[in-house]
Amino acid sequence: MDHSLYSYSLCVALPLMVFFGFYFLFAKTPEKKIFKNYLRSRRIMGIALLLLAANYSVHFFFGIRFKSADSAILMNLSTYFLCYYLFSSAMITLLDRFYITRKRSRTHIILWMIFSSLSGVVLFLLPGGAVQKVALLALAAWLVIYGLVLARRVIVAYRRAVRIFDDTHADDIGAYISWLSIFPIGHLSLVSDADC
């Protein structure tokens, strides 16, 4: 791999992530209560971007990929797992203000800790060779499946919101956003996908 190309790509991506991360967190925002879900979503997105920026910073400033490939893999797996949850939560909270709960957040943080711990065990304690490769493949499959489950939740929440919007036959988007802030879209069915 060309080290300079790798460094340049990080150098370009890092300032953008830092800028947008801080912008989403601290830029001037509307004061109206109607935008509460939007502001929460924006802040979660900002945190996710800054987390990715921290990951990129370690790669850029310390060249961890070239010093310890296992450490770089562990850091990437752990960062992406947590960012999947943050990005999906940021999108779903625009459609369902009741999506983010303490129980759900605690569950995903525990899953992230388990995933990160298992990644560390596989990379640093298992002997290299076929066993480690199979274990890494299993972790990668877990990460992909986790991402697909979260993506499905975003799509389901979006479809519900579109269906409800179509059923109202209203053109007043402000009233719709206000209504979304009151009505729990994620609980339209007795057993929602997010709670299964």
In this structure, how many other beta carbons lie within 10 angstroms of the beta carbon of residue 140? 13
Residue 117, both tokens: 């711990």
Beta strands in 125-184 (DSSP E): none
Q: Compute the distance between CA of residue 156 and CA of residue 187 in angstroms, rounded to an integer.
A: 12
Q: Compute the distance between CA of residue 155 and CA of residue 29 in angstroms, rounded to an integer.
A: 27
Confidence of residue 1 (pLDDT cuts 50, 70, 90): low
20-39 average pLDDT score: 85
Residue 81, both tokens: 């797992």
pLDDT at 175: 54
More confident residue, 194 or 25: 25
Residue 140, both tokens: 């990668």
What pLDDT, in 10s, does the model give residues 149-180? Answer: 999 999 999 888 888 777 766 555 555 555 45
Residue 26's identity, in one-letter code, is F
- 91: Cβ contacts below 8 Å, ≥ 6 apart: 41, 154, 157
End-to-end distance of the chain based on CA atoms, in angstroms? Answer: 43
| Eight-class DSSP state of 127 | P
Q: Compute the distance between CA of residue 25 and CA of residue 28 in angstroms, rounded to an integer.
A: 9
Question: What are the CB-based long-range contacts (under 8 Å, 24+) for 103-109?
Answer: 104/194
Of the candidates 85, 19, 11, 14, the residue with the CA atom closest to the CA atom of residue 48:
85
The pLDDT > 90 percentage for the chain reads 47
Residue 170's identity, in one-letter code, is A
Q: What per-residue string of b and e applies to 32-65 under the rule 16 or more CB within 10 Å gives b? A: eeebebbbbbbbbbbbbbbbbbebbebbbeeebb
Give pTM, 2 decimals.
0.79
